Each structure stands twice: as structure tokens, then as C-alpha cells.
Amino acid sequence: MPSKDQQFGKESESTAVRHLKKKGYKIIEQNYRTKLGEIDIIAKEKNTIVFVEVKSRKSVSYGNPKYAVTPKKMRKISMVALYFLKVTNQSSSKARFDVVSISPGGKDPEIEIIKNAFDLAYK
């Protein structure tokens, strides 16, 4: 049985998927896992492959969730993204990294898509 935090994470990712679809993204994978790490969502927007990290908060006391993507997390996502592109023979495809930030906001959460949130990080 998932913990409350795991359940909150799953709900946040579902919210992000619905929002991305509304914005025209086509979802390719969710929770893409390898021995290198995981990417929350892999999508396509027009002709660009988009690797999406979902960050959410139950309260704003720790600040905006979009600032929670650390350099270490960026490196891990970058490695998994490169692996995905290689094994799917899409290494020459256009790709970017987005962050979906979900904050509590009254009746409905505040959802922000940060396009090109970070560059490929592998050092």
C-alpha cells in the first residue's frame, strides 16, 4: 500500500499529465525507469521530445516547488534522457527538459509549465 507521500506524488503526476494534454503535449511514457534513474513523464510537443519532472507541494511554506530540481536531479534526468534517446534510436531528435510545478491554490492547484527549465547536465 502506498504511503501518503507516494499517493500525493501519483496524484500530482496525474494532474500534470492532464494539464500537459490540455496544452497539446502527447504523452509517450510515465514513470520511465532505468538503472540510471527515473523520468516522471516523457512527452512530445510538436516535433520535440520533452522530458518532464513534476514537482509539487502540499503547502507553500517550503517555497515554490519549481526550485526543488537540484543540480544532482538535473544530472540524473539528463542521463536517463540520453539513455532513452539512444535505446529508442532518437539521438538526433530535438529534445528539452520541462518542469511542471504544482502548488496549492485555493480550490484548484496552481500549475505552471517551465519550458526549457534546464540544459543537459552530465558533469
Residue 10 confidence (pLDDT) above 90: no
Taking the mean position of all CA atoms in its chain, how far away is CA 37? 13
Least confident of 2-11, 38-47, 75-84, 106-115: 2-11
Instruction: Kindly report the average pLDDT of the chain as a whole number.
Output: 91
- All cell numbers assigned to 57: 507541494
- All cell numbers assigned to 98: 520541462
User: Domains of the chain (ranges plus CATH)?
Assistant: 4-118 (3.40.1350.10)
pTM, full prediction: 0.92
Residue 54 confidence (pLDDT) above 90: yes
The identity of residue 54, as a single letter, is V
| CA contacts within 13 A on the Cβ side of 38 | 7
| CB-based contact 94:48 (threshold 8 Å) | yes
Instruction: Report, as an integer, the average pLDDT of 13-30.
Output: 96
